[in-house]
């Protein structure tokens, strides 16, 4: 490559680095140290693995300022204005340091940030994000990825995930009815109560918190907001009587809370990787969890006791991304990285043999064209839909496993599928941010729409680049580069 072109590339890299460094790292400036920008990212990277709600060594939790301030079994972690009397500095700067355990020690620059922050008063500057009527809805220039869809039980409303909100549409996409604004940047799962009076949303802000939102569908008002764990949560499900809510977590646990008072009733920690899906049995006495450790596990709700590995002989076939329960029977459908949807009995009817035969397996459907990211049953349980990263959705008969139809999503990844409760319609959503509604029997596209209002005005920071190639005769001999930084419309 010509030297001038290499120089232009290096100049662009230097400009990006200059911008990143110049945005304000307190370690190299006289400005006050920020808990949110300087201290919390260090705790998140180096300390939260051992000091989180599900694993709090020394009773010290470091996933929030309030927990950090409270301290642990050895006392307060820090005393504002007194770095030399603050336990945290002894722990991170000892020889050798006690924290972080089994990891690289903090650098002297990082230790000095802690010292300065405490000396300056150890203030909490974490931005508050309130879920109330004063919040402004997000402005979209492009449609966001759709990670969850859910029809209301009466079929009149289709709930669609957005950025920090759930958008309620008429089920045919003809009208936006309401926007439910919350704290979570990511919405991962939307579930309606069977009586339609409640909508449950789970998600979170990655590496900061997971959140459960409970909404009154009559008023579209937030009833409860509960933070759980230090990362996004997944795969929500309601018990048949709507009294319990289950969800999966990145800390390798699955949890059940009481909807009435949001108290945690069960914390199941038998998985060895992220738990991405949960479903209750038809009577609500047990729940099933599936996750990246390839396991489908059965647990009793009342005691929280592990009962069975449902997919015993198929463990190890690949991470499970999504699970769904048959609407009338104790059967669970799973799909994931190995591309094969599998239907299992939830309760074992035959004892295991020495060969660990998969007696729970009812049917393995055909191998899909790509990794499975979405599975769903239709309302009577006679059909399933399977969506993949490659953008294809296939509809199958449950009785014999035959394929009925193949639906296309313009080759963009499918992340969520929802069947209409009363009509022969299925909605799909995914990477391109569009909702598409199909007839599952014929494969006909009925409707497609973008669920968020788009704003053509450009906001925020934008870097534009214009490159002019310099030629002599037909040979490239160099290039000139013009870079513009636009902040809120100003160059």
Determine the pLDDT at residue 315: 63
Helix (H) or strand (E) holding 483: strand 475-487
Whole-angstrom distance, CA of residue 450 vs CA of residue 435: 6
pLDDT band at 4 (very low <50, low <70, confident <90, very high): very low
pLDDT-derived band at 363 (thresholds 50, 70, 90) equals very high
User: Shortest CA distance to 321 belongs to which of 343, 301, 341?
Assistant: 341
Residue 424's alpha-carbon distances to 380, 418, 440, 446, in angstroms, are: 11, 11, 6, 11
Q: Tell me the pLDDT band of 460, cut-offs 50, 70 and 90.
A: very low
Helix (H, G, I), strand (E, B) or coil at 11: helix
CA proximity to 401, closest of 368, 366, 373, 376: 366
Strands (E), 431-474: 435-438, 445-449, 461-472
pLDDT of residue 355: 63
Tell me if residue 6 falls in helix, strand or coil.
helix
- Summarize the chain as % helix, strand, coil (round to 5): 15, 40, 45
Q: Are 99 and 90 in contact (CB under 8 A)?
A: no
Render pLDDT for 264-310 as a digit per residue (tens, 0 to 9).
Answer: 999 999 999 999 999 999 999 999 999 999 999 999 999 999 999 99
pTM reported for the whole predicted model: 0.74
pLDDT at 435: 96
- For 181, residues 6+ apart whose C-beta sits below 8 A from its C-beta are 131, 135, 137, 164, 165
Query: Does pLDDT of 110 surpass 80?
Result: yes
Q: What is the pLDDT of residues 122-149, one digit of tens each?
A: 999 987 654 444 578 999 999 999 999 9
Burial of 159-193, coded b for 16+ CB within 10 Å and e otherwise, reads bbbbbbbbbbbebbbeeeebbbbbbbbbbbbbbbb
142 sits in the region (left: phi over 0; alpha: psi -120 to 50; else beta) called: beta
Residues recorded for the chain: 491
Q: Which of 8-17, 201-210, 434-443 has the highest mean pLDDT?
A: 434-443
State the Cα–Cα distance between residues 125 and 290, nearest whole angstrom: 37
- Of all residues in the chain, the percent with pLDDT exceeding 90 is 65
Is the confidence at residue 177, as pLDDT, over 80?
A: yes
DSSP H or E segment with residue 92? helix 87-93
Provide the pLDDT for residue 486: 45
pLDDT category at 483 given cuts 50, 70, 90 is very low
Query: Among 11-25, 79-93, 190-204, whose mean pLDDT is lowest?
Result: 11-25
- DSSP labels, 194-234: TTSSEEEEEEEETTTEEEEEEEETTTTEEEEEEEESSS-EE
149, 436 Cβ separation under 8 angstroms: no
- Give the pLDDT score at 31: 85
Average pLDDT estimate for 304-321: 86
| pLDDT at 174 exceeding the cut of 80 | yes
- Number of Cβ within 10 Å of residue 478's Cβ equals 15
Which CATH number applies to 149-449? 2.130.10.10
Confidence class of residue 457 from pLDDT cuts 50, 70 and 90?
A: low
User: What does the pLDDT read at residue 54?
Assistant: 56
**Measuring CA to CA, which residue among 94, 126, 111, 120 is closest to residue 46?**
111
Is there a contact between 149 and 451 (Cβ–Cβ < 8 Å)? no
DSSP element (H, E) containing 324: strand 320-325
Q: Which of 14-23, 38-47, 351-360, 439-448 has the lowest mean pLDDT?
A: 14-23
pLDDT band, very low/low/confident/very high, at 9 (cuts 50, 70, 90): very low
Phi, psi dihedrals of residue 251, rounded to the nearest 5°? -85, 20
Using DSSP, state whether 305 is helix, strand or coil. Answer: coil
Q: Where do the structural domains in the chain lie, given as residue ranges?
A: 1-25+458-491, 32-127, 149-449
Q: What's the whole-number mean pLDDT along residues 57-73?
A: 86
User: Is the pLDDT assigned to residue 14 strictly greater than 90?
Assistant: no
Q: What letter does residue 490 receive in the DSSP assignment?
A: B
Lowest mean pLDDT among 121-125, 189-193, 340-344: 121-125
- What is the rounded average pLDDT for all residues in the chain? 85
Furthest-apart CA atoms within the chain: distance in Å: 81
Q: Is the pLDDT of residue 432 over 90?
A: yes
């Amino acid at each position: 490559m010509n030297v001038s072109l290499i120089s232009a590339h290096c100049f662009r890299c230097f400009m990006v680095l200059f911008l990143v460094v110049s945005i304000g790292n307190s370690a190299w400036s006289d400005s006050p140290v920020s808990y949110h920008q300087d201290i919390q990212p260090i705790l998140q990277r180096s300390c939260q693995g051992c000091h989180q709600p599900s694993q709090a060594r020394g009773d010290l939790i470091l996933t929030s300022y309030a927990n950090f301030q409270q301290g642990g079994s050895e006392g307060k972690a820090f005393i504002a204005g007194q770095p030399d009397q603050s336990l945290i500095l002894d722990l991170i700067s000892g020889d050798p340091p006690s924290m972080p355990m089994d990891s690289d020690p903090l650098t002297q620059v990082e230790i000095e940030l802690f010292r300065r922050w405490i000396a300056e008063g150890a203030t909490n500057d974490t931005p508050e994000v309130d879920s109330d009527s004063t919040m402004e809805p997000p402005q979209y220039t492009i449609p966001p990825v759709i990670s969850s869809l859910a029809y209301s039980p009466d079929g009149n409303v289709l709930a669609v995930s957005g950025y920090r909100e759930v958008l309620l549409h008429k089920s045919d996409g003809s009208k936006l009815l309401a926007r439910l604004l919350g704290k979570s940047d990511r919405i991962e799962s939307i579930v309606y109560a069977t009586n339609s009076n409640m909508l449950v949303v789970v998600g979170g802000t990655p590496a900061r918190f997971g959140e459960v939102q409970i909404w009154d569908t009559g008023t579209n008002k937030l009833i409860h907001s509960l933070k759980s764990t230090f990362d996004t949560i997944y795969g929500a499900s309601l018990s048949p009587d709507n009294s319990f809510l289950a969800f999966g977590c990145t800390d390798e646990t699955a949890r059940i809370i009481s909807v009435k008072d949001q108290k945690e009733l069960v914390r199941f920690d038998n998985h060895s990787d992220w738990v991405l899906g949960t479903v209750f049995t038809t009577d609500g006495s047990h729940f099933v969890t599936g996750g990246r450790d390839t396991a489908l596990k059965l647990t009793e709700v009342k005691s929280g006791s592990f009962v069975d590995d449902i997919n015993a002989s198929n463990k190890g076939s690949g991470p499970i991304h999504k699970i769904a329960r048959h609407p009338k029977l104790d059967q669970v459908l799973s799909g994931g990285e190995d591309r094969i949807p599998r239907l299992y009995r939830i309760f074992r009817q035959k004892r295991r043999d020495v060969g660990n035969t998969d007696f729970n397996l009812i049917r393995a459907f055909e191998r899909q064209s790509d990794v499975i990211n979405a599975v769903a049953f239709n309302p009577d349980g006679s059909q399933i839909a399977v969506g993949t990263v490659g953008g294809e959705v296939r509809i199958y008969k449950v009785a014999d496993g035959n394929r009925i139809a193949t639906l296309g999503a313009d080759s963009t990844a499918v992340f969520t599928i929802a069947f209409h409760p009363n009509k022969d319609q299925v909605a799909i959503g995914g990477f391109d941010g569009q909702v598409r509604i199909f007839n599952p029997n014929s494969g006909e596209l009925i409707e497609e729409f973008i669920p968020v209002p788009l704003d053509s005005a450009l906001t925020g920071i934008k870097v534009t680049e214009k490159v002019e190639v310099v030629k002599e005769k037909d040979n490239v001999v160099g290039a000139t580069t013009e870079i513009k930084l636009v902040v809120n419309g100003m160059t």
